[in-house]
Amino acid sequence: MVSHSTHLRNGIEQVKSICPHLKHFVEISGKCNLKPQEPSINSYFESLVRSVIAQQISAVAAGTITQRVKKLTNNKITPRVISNRTEKELRSVGLSASKIKTIQGLANAHLSKEINLADLTDATNDEAVKMLSSQWGIGRWTAEMFLMFTLGRLDIWPVGDLAVRRGWQIAHGLKDMPNEKQMEPLGNPFAPYRSIAAWYCWRVLEPEEPW
C-alpha cells in the first residue's frame, strides 16, 4: 500500500507538472501538509467545532474564540461537554446563537446516536459530506474542510471556498474570479490530488502561512 507521504509527494509533483501557474507557488511555499489526524470521536468533533467557529469570520477572530471555548471546556471540546454548557456560557466566549445551535446540535446528534462521528473514518467523501450536511448549520464547505484537514483526503476540490477561487485567479492572471460552476472542471486535471492544488491556491494568498 502506498503511504500517505508518498501520495503527498506524488501529488505535489503532479500539480507542478500540470500547472506552471501554480508551480511557482509550490516552489516558494512550504510543503503541503495535509494528513489524517488520529481518528477519534473527540478529535473529529473538536475539528468540526473549529470549522463552525471559523465560518464567515477572520482567522484571528476564529482563533481567539476557539481559545475561549477551550478555556470554558477545560480543554475538552467534546460532544458531552459542549452539550452540557448553557447558551449563556457559550455566548460569553463570543459564539453567535446560530453557531451555538450548530455545535450543540451536532453534539446532541452524536450523543443520541442520530449520527456516529466514528463512521467518518471510513466514509467515502460523498458519504461524509451527506452525513455532516444533514446537521443544521453544517454545509458542504465545512464538510470539505473536515475531509481535507482532519481526514487528510487528497482529492477534494472546494469550489465554494472564495480564497481558493481568488488564488486561482491571481495565479493565472485572470481579470475575473471564476465562479463555482466555472471552477468545478478546472480541478479535473489534478485528480486524484485536487486537495493539493487547492492548498496551493490558498498559498497564493498566504505563501508563508501554514494552514
Asked if residue 47 belongs to a domain, the reply is yes
* Average pLDDT value for residue range 194-202: 97
The whole domain housing 178 covers 4-34+155-205
- CA 35-43-205 angle, to 5 degrees, is 45
* Grid cell in block for residue 5: 507521504
Using one digit for the tens of pLDDT, what is the confidence trace for 39-83?
999 999 999 999 999 998 988 999 999 999 999 999 999 999 999
- Its pTM stands at 0.92
**134 and 166 housed in the same domain:** no
Instruction: Give yes or no: residues 141 and 191 share one domain.
Output: no
Confidence of residue 104 (pLDDT cuts 50, 70, 90): very high
CATH number of the domain residue 21 falls in: 1.10.1670.40
CA atoms of 69 and 72, how far apart (whole Å) = 5
* Domain end position, chosen among 149, 172, 191: 149
Of the candidates 66, 74, 48, 4, the residue with the CA atom closest to the CA atom of residue 144: 48
Q: Is residue 200 part of a domain?
A: yes
- Catalytic site residues? 161
Closest CA to 141 of 163, 158, 123: 158
- How far apart are the C-alpha atoms of 65 and 76, rounded to whole Å? 15
